[in-house]
Chain A
Amino acid sequence: MGNFEPIIVAFCCHYCAYTAADMAGSMRLSYPANVKIVRVPCTGKVDVQHILQAFQNGADGVYVAGCLEGDCHFKNGNTKAARRVIYAKKLLNEIGLEEERVEMLLMSAGMGERFAQTAFEITEKIRKLGPNPIKKAKKS
């Protein structure tokens, strides 16, 4: 388990987290290469199905990163996404996967440091949880 490198899919809103990731780059802040970013026009576009499919296709962790509360470019896409993440957690629980594998995060476009820091934190959290049990079963 020591050399386990988790695959983490991050659905990032174009107006905040994605730009924050860019900002992290401009600030020469490094963040783990484990995080694979999927840019979305708004986190409101992220469906529970997208989250499940990420896990089905081998992701060890997924997070959805949207704008700060009240700052959504499309008014309330981020709050919708937060509710969907809760629903995804419920579904994961029901099939015996740890609900901590999926999270909702909020940040603004200027928070390059926060982006890098949360990428570290989530990678470490998933590393502790271990590989997605589906992947483990697939390999054996």
Chain B
Amino acid sequence: MITAERKPMEEILDYISPFQRIILVGCNECVTVCAAGGRKEVGLLSSALQMAFMKDGKTLSVNEITLERQCDPEYVEELVAHISQADAVLSMACGCGVQEIAKRFPQKPVFPALNTKFMGASESQGVWSERCKGCGDCILGLTGGICPVARCSKRIMNGPCGGSTNGKCEISPDVDCAWYLIWERLKALGQEDKYEDIIEAKDWRPSWHGGPRKIIREDLVE
């Protein structure tokens, strides 16, 4: 999922302080799962913002709407009926959702309430960790299903480096050494020989280094 965290209240308040009526838009997908921008978080932020306004003797009317997906124009369309009654939109989606709303309503100020963080997985209740960088050329098949691009601090393709100690990375004892994990996994699979294969220098063009990316599925394009 795409993970995110709420911005500091001060920053959000700075954005919306000139307005009196806002739509606070949540998203029912990734940000709901990582407890950053789903229906519940929308309710919480709405209460907090209204109280912050009331404290200053002002009023804020908040229309709370949580869309199925903010990154899809079909769902963003649901805001059309409400947009004229709002001075601004505050989005609790990832950066994709915020931009979809900005694109659909060019005349309406749109602000992010979240900082989009990374593509990750749930490690345990309330803990999410980065797992994928979206490099555009997956090598998990070579590395025992553990990604050195996302999980090695140096993105080393043939590791570990000298900073690996007792399975931990030199940047912090809380960070696993990805190459230690890869080696352990290859051992468990009986594929130690794979470790001997040298992975060539990675072509980063399919990643962001080639500029903003796009996927076109000809069979689906209308």
CB-nearest residue of chain A to B43: A49
The interface residues of chain A lying within 8 Å CB-to-CB of B43 are 49
- Give B114 Cβ to nearest chain A Cβ, in Å: 15
A13 to B34, CA, bound (A): 28
The stretch from B52-60, B66-74, B128-136, B174-182 touching chain A is B52-60
Contact of B54 with A52 in the complex, beta carbons under 8 Å: no
Contact of A55 with B44 in the complex, beta carbons under 8 Å: no
Q: Which of B32-82 contact A (CB under 8 A)?
A: 40, 43-44, 47-52, 54-57
Contact of B55 with A91 in the complex, beta carbons under 8 Å: no
Known: A49-B40, A49-B43. A96 touches B48 (CB 8 A): no
Q: Which of A30-80 contact B (CB under 8 A)?
A: 47-49, 52-53, 55-56
A138 to B59, CA, bound (A): 9
Check A95 for interface membership: any CB of B closer than 8 A: yes
Interface of chain A: mostly helix, strand, loop or mixed: helix
The interface residues of chain A lying within 8 Å CB-to-CB of B54 are 56, 134, 137-138
Contact of A137 with B57 in the complex, beta carbons under 8 Å: yes
Contact of B51 with A97 in the complex, beta carbons under 8 Å: yes
CB-nearest residue of chain A to B8: A94
Contact of A53 with B9 in the complex, beta carbons under 8 Å: no
> B50 touches which one: A56, A91, A96, A97 (CB < 8 A)?
A56
A62 to B50, CA, bound (A): 18
A55 to B55, CA, bound (A): 11
Contact of A95 with B48 in the complex, beta carbons under 8 Å: yes
Instruction: With a 10 A CB-CB cut-off, give which of B10, B54, B56 has the most chain A CB atoms.
Output: B54
The interface residues of chain B lying within 8 Å CB-to-CB of A3 are none
- Give A53 Cβ to nearest chain B Cβ, in Å: 6
Binding site for A on B (CB under 8 A): 8-10, 40, 43-44, 47-52, 54-57
- Cβ contacts A to B, 18 pairs, < 8 Å: A49-B40, A49-B47, A52-B44, A52-B47, A52-B48, A52-B51, A91-B9, A91-B48, A94-B8, A95-B9, A96-B52, A97-B51, A97-B55, A133-B55, A134-B51, A137-B56, A137-B57, A140-B57
Given contacts A52-B51, A56-B51, 7 further A-B contacts (CB under 8 A): A48-B44, A55-B51, A56-B47, A94-B9, A95-B55, A97-B51, A97-B55
